[in-house]
A and B are shown apart, each in its own frame.
Chain A
Amino acid sequence: MRWKIPKSGLIVLLFLVSILILYYSGILVPAENLAIKILSPVGGIFYRFGQKVESLWTPRISEEDYAKLESERNKLTAKNVELQFLSQENEELRKALAFSKENQNKFLIADIIGRDPLSAGYFVLNIGRDNGVLENYPVVSPEGILVGKIVKAEASVSVFLVPTDMNFQTAATILGKSKRGTSGLVKGEKGLGISMEFIPQDESVEKGDIVATSGIELNMPKGLVIGQVADVQKEARDIFGRATISPMLTYNNLSIVMVIVPQQ
């Protein structure tokens, strides 16, 4: 039996190969920019509509939880005021000691215009290399919480990976009882949660401790909050302990983020 194979498939494949050659040689950059300009706003509208539909599935918060959150917010407000005074004091002391100011990072505001068609852990931003975005730059929420790292930067769009994705990892510190902080490695857990590994056994880590970036990684500033310790697992026979981290926010609800561009 002879198979019937129409030629039009081959024509389309050849057409695709020629487009890819033009794309990777950079000739198609203006066309790409134009396509992104058209697709970005439409993508944003669809993305926000998808978020609204998803919120129908999201369970509503109970009155008990609401009261707990309200009390926590009030405590944090008081703490924030205290920290603002400390920051002012720190600034004055720096001036008095003629300390040079640390490099300030630049923040680029970006809209999320969609997600990767294959994996929900990758979010697409409407800014790219032309705006100064490069791979491994951190992405934070408007409140300054770390929400991911750039993994792909095209001319006018970029893709970032959220901390719950298993391909995400960054060096972090637990800000608990230990004054110098407990160092470890934060990793995504199959798209469902975050864990922190390589926690020394002798370090005291408790539920509720804040986890933030340690700053030892290139382009990743120190002190970006990742989440809170939800559970600690330490076995006497293991060299290191492990902690489960609960994220500070739901990444699916994000629509605007900021990319931190390090200043040289």
Chain B
Amino acid sequence: MPRMERLEHFLRILWNALGVIFFGIMQAGFLQALPWPFDYLNIVFLAGVFITFAIGYSQGLWFAFFCGLAMDFFSYLPFGTMTLLQVLSVIAINFMFINFFTNRSLYSLIFLGFLGNIIYIIGLLTFNFIFFVLNLNNNLDKFLLWPNLAGLMWQILFSVIVLGISFFVFSFFGKKIKKIFY
């Protein structure tokens, strides 16, 4: 590999790593400090959906994997839960995308984000239920309370809005954004 190409490759990896850290920390450090319901905005999940949809499945998977690992350091749940949840969401989104959707339209993205977020919430409740039954964590009731459920409904609404905006931003700067991940 020529020297310039090698440098470019290295810079791309560094850029992606910084991006992953930025999103993971932004979710745990910044967004959680915002007032309700903005603290329910799940930017890592949204970025995972968007990358899978617009750039590629494997990029989305690895993004979800490393962001999940960064978030696991900040989570009260057993280590690995956040990563597993993020990766499973991306797998589910890609499964729906390649089997049920025909094109990369705005409606496909919004509908995928909507369904993906519901799957994410179901996954979250399931994991909490398993930890509750196994006595690893007793926070199941926390998510079944109205303020939390209302927050999660807000999260779905935010997902649809943010993905819609991202679609238009991507259609303007698409090529430049794609270059970053390849």
Q: A12 near B: Cβ within 8 Å?
A: yes
A219 CA to B147 CA, complexed, in Å = 32
- Pick from A16, A35, A57, A157: contact of B65, CB under 8 Å: A16
Please name 8 pairs of A and B residues whose Cβ atoms are closer than 8 Å in the assembled complex, sorted by A.
A19-B69, A42-B21, A114-B74, A116-B28, A117-B42, A120-B36, A122-B76, A192-B147
Q: Are A54 and B35 in contact (CB under 8 A)?
A: yes
Cross-interface CB contact of A54 among B34, B61, B145, B148, cutoff 8 Å: B34
Pair A167/B139 contact, Cβ less than 8 Å: yes
Is the pair A114, B25 in contact by a Cβ cutoff of 8 Å? Answer: yes
Give which listed residue, B29, B71, B94, B147, contacts A50 with CB less than 8 A: B29
A16 and B91 CA atoms in complex are apart in Å by: 14
- Cα separation A154 to B61 with both chains bound (whole Å): 26
A residues less than 8 Å from B91 (CB atoms)? 9, 13
Closest to B79 in A: A23
Extra contacts besides A8-B58, A53-B34, A157-B74 (4): CB < 8 Å: A23-B79, A44-B29, A120-B39, A166-B141
A39 touches B94 (CB 8 A): no
CB distance from A24 to the nearest CB of B (A): 8
Residues of chain A with a CB closer than 8 A to B94's CB: 6, 9
**Quick check: B32 and A114 within 8 Å, CB to CB?**
yes
The answer to the question of B98 belonging to the interface, with a C-beta cut-off of 8 Å to chain A, is yes
A residues 28-55 with Cβ under 8 Å of B? 32, 35-36, 38-39, 42-47, 49-51, 53-54
**B164 an interface residue at 8 Å Cβ cutoff?**
no
Query: Which among B34, B36, B87 is the interface contact of A16 at CB below 8 angstroms?
Result: B87
> Is the contact region of chain B dominated by helix, strand, or loop, or is it mixed?
helix
Residues facing A in B17-32 (CB within 8 A) are 21, 24-32
Contacts of A46 in B (CB 8 A): 25-26, 28-30
Q: Restricting to B112-167, which residues have a CB under 8 Å from any CB of A? A: 124, 138-139, 141-142, 145, 147-148
Given known pairs A46-B26, A47-B33, the reply for A116 and B74 (CB within 8 Å) is: yes
A124 within 8 A of B: yes
Quote the shortest CB–CB distance from A137 to chain B (angstroms).
Answer: 15
Determine if A124 and B28 form an interchain contact, defined as CB atoms under 8 angstroms apart.
yes
Within A112-129, which residues are at the interface with B (CB < 8 Å)? 113-120, 122, 124
A5 CB within 8 Å of chain B: yes
A53–B148 Cα gap in the complex (Å)?
A: 22
Once the chains are docked, how many angstroms separate the CA of A118 from the CA of B147?
Answer: 13
- 5 tightest A-B contacts by CB? A50-B33, A46-B29, A115-B32, A114-B28, A9-B91
With contacts A47-B33, A54-B33 taken as known, whether A119 is within 8 angstroms of B25 at the C-beta atoms is no
**Quick check: A117 and B80 within 8 Å, CB to CB?**
no
Q: How far is the CB of A9 from chain B (nearest CB, A)?
A: 4
Question: B99 touches which one: A4, A42, A116 (CB < 8 A)?
Answer: A4
Q: Which of A50, A116, A122, A167 contacts B138 (CB 8 A)?
A: A167
Minimum CB–CB distance for B86 against chain A, Å: 10
Does B103 lie at the interface of the complex (its beta carbon under 8 Å from any beta carbon of A)?
no
Bound CA span A151–B57, Å: 36
User: Please, which residues of chain B bring their CB within 8 A of the CB of A190?
Assistant: 145, 147
The answer to whether residues A50 and B32 also contact, given A116-B74, A191-B147 and a CB cut-off of 8 A, is: yes
In the complex, what residues of B have CB within 8 A of residue A161's CB? Answer: 76
A49 to B44, CA, bound (A): 18
- CB of A43 within 8 A of CB of B29, answer yes
Q: Specify the chain A residue showing the minimal Cβ separation from B61.
A: A12
B111 interface residue (CB < 8 Å to A):
no
CB distance from B163 to the nearest CB of A (A): 19
Given A16-B65, A20-B79, A115-B32, A39 contacting B58 (CB threshold 8 A):
no
Asked if A50 and B142 make an inter-chain contact with CB atoms under 8 angstroms apart, the answer reads no
Give the distance to chain A from B83, nearest Cβ to Cβ, in Å. Answer: 6
Once the chains are docked, how many angstroms separate the CA of A261 from the CA of B35?
32
Contact between A120 and B32 (Cβ–Cβ < 8 Å)? Answer: yes
A66 to B123, CA, bound (A): 47
Given A9-B91, A166-B145, A118 and B77 touching (CB < 8 A)? yes
